[in-house]
């Protein structure tokens, strides 16, 4: 048991997300080419390590980086890399054309074009930046982008209805001359909405919520209706339609869209659409592992690789559902965060032959990880993609933000992680000990603490609460006053599960919700290798900053 009580100057030495964000911020602000300020898209870490550019270096990478750098600052308060951030923000605005869309530069083969993946990432960057800084020129760019998206959307309606109530984009890339063919949907050449309109819905909804921009909500509503009711991109059982016109069932594109549609459903009080998202989530969960590894797509070699982007979509949707009638997903989100997200963050770089590249990418997240290895041994894709570095940071932020809910007098502890806020601090001894300590900084009525799904409720012990009851998976603690210190204790499970990823099986050894070992282990840069846990918790001579974000995702 702990010899020092937690509090100022002593934090249990367990997973602390803001510390992970500090090192992620390092990677986010160092994956840039100093020659011209353009982000690198990929890094290959084995053989002769190298960095490479691609056509994703424009709105896609820049928007995601601008967003995630802001999120890392919300968590840490760090000023590291301010100059790089300033350059990226300037670059983001510079890529806008007069028509309101954000363009990739012309290349040898193509004219300048506005890619729909880019428009979503650009909006993600602008909305996060605006929430943090409130700059008028940022809102102006976002307003213009919403107006442009509205202008170029193809608007259709059910033949029996008078109104045009589903909107979409007929192709992934728009040029100054317009769409390649405006009627592709009738020719059977329709693009997957996950690659065009559906993925934009999340930032559109947040932008509407923050500024009241009505174009943004109308776009979100009509894109969601197209995806759910007309596109055929998802089957009735929630599975992905991966027919030819829908490419390979790219997991990130599908799930970023479903998480976005859930966000829309909540903003528009659309319970039917929220249930649709929950059905797709249930199906998607069955395609991966309990610890957060999912295939990056449903075809070819991609079934063996995992994109951090897809994991973070699964975390985001799990959180949205956890808050809104599906509390059973909280335990799952915690397993995803404690395991594949935390375990795959690149912290030990000694195995990378090029010291300069290794140093730049400290804190990055993998682009194509195997369940047991940072580097996948199938195919020879690069090991890191900048989209995933940004997404991994977003995953840290989402877990950190939603670990605790504070609403009026009420506080919920949703994720059992160290977290300090102005209303309460949470100290977690998991996985070594089943012990959660809460310091209340004000009266809380009630304080609810989620208990993991593998705990026998009869064996939970509470110290320091006047009344104790249950609300589903939450312990409901009453009469908590400012200054109180409470403890919730329970036995920690130790178990071994067999997990299937593509056609391979792995044995995972768990303590609580944390994997201590995976068998077979990886060969290049094994995940979980450094996680020995002797069942005791030490304390760091440290204290957590009591932070609450100004940015809301
Ligand atoms: Zn990615």
Specify the pLDDT at position 245: 65
End-to-end CA, the chain: 37
pLDDT at 79 over 90: yes
pLDDT at 1 over 60: no
Q: Which CATH number do you get for residue 375?
A: 1.50.10.10
Specify the pLDDT at position 189: 54
Query: Which tokens is 432 given?
Result: 């070594």
**Domain extent for 367:** 11-406
Ligand 1 centroid–CA 491 distance in Å is 37
Q: Are 490 and 429 in contact (CB under 8 A)?
A: no
Other residues' Cβ atoms within 10 Å of the Cβ of residue 311: 31
- The verdict on residue 540 lying in a domain is no
User: Is the peptide bond preceding residue 464 cis, with omega within 30 degrees of 0?
Assistant: no
Other residues' Cβ atoms within 10 Å of the Cβ of residue 128: 27
Reported as a single tens digit per residue, the pLDDT across 370-390 is 999 999 989 888 999 999 999
pLDDT at 481 over 80: yes
Query: Which tokens is 314 given?
Result: 């699964």
Reported as a single tens digit per residue, the pLDDT across 484-518 is 999 999 999 999 999 999 889 999 999 999 999 99
Residue (of 475, 478, 476) closest to 466 by Cα position: 478
3-class DSSP assignment, residue 65: helix
Q: Taking residues 6-16, what's their average pLDDT?
A: 79
**CA atoms within 13 Å, Cβ hemisphere of 168:** 28
pLDDT at 2 over 80: no
Pairing of strands 154-156, 166-168: antiparallel
Q: Which residues contact 85 (CB under 8 A, 6 or more apart)?
A: 29, 66, 69
Ligand 1 centroid–CA 34 distance in Å is 22
Ligand 1 centroid–CA 309 distance in Å is 4
- The verdict on residue 436 lying in a domain is no
User: Is the peptide bond preceding residue 223 cis, with omega within 30 degrees of 0?
Assistant: no
Stated pTM of the model:
0.96
Ligand 1 centroid–CA 312 distance in Å is 9
Ligand 1 centroid–CA 244 distance in Å is 22
Lowest mean pLDDT among 74-83, 168-177, 323-332: 168-177
What is the chain's mean pLDDT, rounded?
A: 93
Ligand 1 centroid–CA 94 distance in Å is 24
Between CA 473 and CA 453 the distance in angstroms is 7
Residue (of 443, 442, 404, 448) closest to 548 by Cα position: 404
Ligand 1 centroid–CA 477 distance in Å is 40
Ligand 1 centroid–CA 30 distance in Å is 17
- The verdict on residue 421 lying in a domain is no
Residue (of 400, 415, 340) closest to 370 by Cα position: 340
pLDDT at 99 over 50: yes
Residue 27 parent element (H or E):
helix 17-28
Ligand 1 centroid–CA 413 distance in Å is 29
Reported as a single tens digit per residue, the pLDDT across 399-412 is 999 999 999 899 99
Residue (of 235, 238, 115) closest to 169 by Cα position: 115
Reported as a single tens digit per residue, the pLDDT across 238-284 is 999 877 667 778 999 999 999 999 999 999 999 999 999 999 999 99
pLDDT at 170 over 90: no
- The verdict on residue 508 lying in a domain is no
Between CA 337 and CA 315 the distance in angstroms is 8
User: Is the peptide bond preceding residue 446 cis, with omega within 30 degrees of 0?
Assistant: yes
Q: Are 346 and 359 in contact (CB under 8 A)?
A: no
Between CA 512 and CA 432 the distance in angstroms is 8
Specify the pLDDT at position 301: 82
Specify the pLDDT at position 244: 64
- The verdict on residue 214 lying in a domain is yes
3-class DSSP assignment, residue 164: coil
3-class DSSP assignment, residue 528: coil
Number of domains in the chain: 1
- The verdict on residue 265 lying in a domain is yes
Residue 475 CA: distances (Å) to CA of 418, 453, 455: 18, 12, 12
Between CA 61 and CA 33 the distance in angstroms is 13
- The verdict on residue 146 lying in a domain is yes
- Residues above pLDDT 70, as percent of the chain: 95
Ligand 1 centroid–CA 224 distance in Å is 23
Q: Where does residue 134 fall: left (phi above 0), alpha (psi -120 to 50 degrees), or beta otherwise? A: left
Residue 126's Cβ-count burial label (10 Å; 0-12, 13-18, 19+) is buried
Q: Find the largest Cα–Cα distance for the chain.
A: 72
């Amino acid at each position: 048991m702990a010899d020092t009580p937690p509090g100022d100057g002593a934090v249990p030495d367990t997973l602390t997300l803001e510390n992970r964000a500090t090192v992620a911020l390092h990677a986010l602000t160092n994956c840039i080419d100093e020659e011209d300020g353009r982000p690198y898209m990929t890094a290959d870490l084995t053989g002769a390590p190298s960095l490479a550019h691609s056509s994703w270096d424009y709105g896609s990478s820049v928007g995601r980086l601008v967003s995630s750098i802001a999120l890392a600052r919300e968590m840490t308060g760090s000023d590291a890399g301010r100059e790089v951030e300033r350059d990226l923000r300037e670059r983001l605005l510079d890529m806008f054309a007069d028509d309101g869309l954000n363009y990739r530069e012309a290349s040898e083969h193509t004219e300048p074009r506005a890619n729909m993946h880019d428009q979503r990432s650009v909006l993600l960057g602008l909305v996060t930046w605006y929430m943090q800084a409130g700059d008028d020129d940022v809102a102006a760019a976002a307003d213009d982008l919403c107006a442009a998206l509205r202008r170029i959307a193809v608007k259709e309606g059910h033949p029996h209805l008078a109104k045009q109530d589903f909107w979409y984009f007929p192709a992934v890339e728009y040029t100054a001359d317009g769409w390649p063919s405006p009627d592709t949907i009738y020719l059977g050449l329709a693009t997957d909405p996950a690659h065009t309109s559906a993925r934009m819905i999340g930032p559109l909804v947040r932008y509407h919520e923050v500024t009241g921009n009505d174009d943004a909500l109308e776009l979100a509503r009509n894109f969601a209706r197209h995806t759910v009711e007309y596109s055929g991109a998802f089957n009735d059982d929630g599975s992905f339609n991966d027919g030819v016109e829908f490419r390979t069932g790219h997991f990130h594109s599908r799930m970023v869209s479903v998480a976005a549609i859930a966000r829309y459903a909540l903003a528009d009080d659309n319970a039917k659409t929220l249930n649709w998202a929950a059905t797709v989530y249930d199906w998607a969960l069955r395609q991966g592992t309990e610890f957060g590894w999912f295939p990056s797509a449903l075809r070819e070699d991609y079934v063996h690789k995992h994109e951090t982007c897809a994991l973070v979509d699964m975390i985001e949707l799990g959180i949205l559902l956890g808050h809104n009638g599906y509390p059973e997903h909280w335990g799952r989100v915690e397993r995803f965060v404690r395991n594949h997200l935390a375990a795959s963050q690149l912290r030990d770089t000694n195995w990378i032959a090029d010291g300069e590249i290794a140093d730049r990418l400290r804190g990055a997240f993998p682009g194509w990880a195997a369940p047991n290895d940072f580097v996948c041994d199938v195919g020879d894709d690069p090991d890191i993609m900048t989209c995933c570095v940004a997404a991994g940071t977003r995953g840290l932020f989402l877990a950190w933000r939603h670990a605790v809910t504070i609403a009026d007098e009420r506080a919920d502890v949703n994720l059992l992680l160290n977290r300090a806020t102005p209303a309460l601090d949470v100290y977690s001894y998991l996985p070594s000990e089943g012990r959660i300590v809460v310091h209340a900084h004000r009266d809380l009525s009630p304080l609810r603490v989620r208990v993991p799904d593998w705990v026998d409720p009869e064996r939970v012990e509470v110290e320091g609460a006047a009344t104790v009851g249950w609300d589903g998976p939450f312990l409901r603690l009453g009469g908590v006053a400012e200054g109180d210190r409470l403890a919730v204790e329970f036995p920690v499970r130790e178990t071994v599960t067999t997990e299937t990823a593509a056609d391979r099986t792995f044995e995972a050894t768990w303590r609580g919700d944390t994997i201590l070992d995976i068998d077979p282990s990886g060969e290049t840069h094994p995940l979980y290798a450094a996680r020995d846990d002797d069942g005791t918790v030490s304390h760091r001579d440290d204290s957590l900053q009591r932070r609450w974000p100004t940015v809301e995702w």
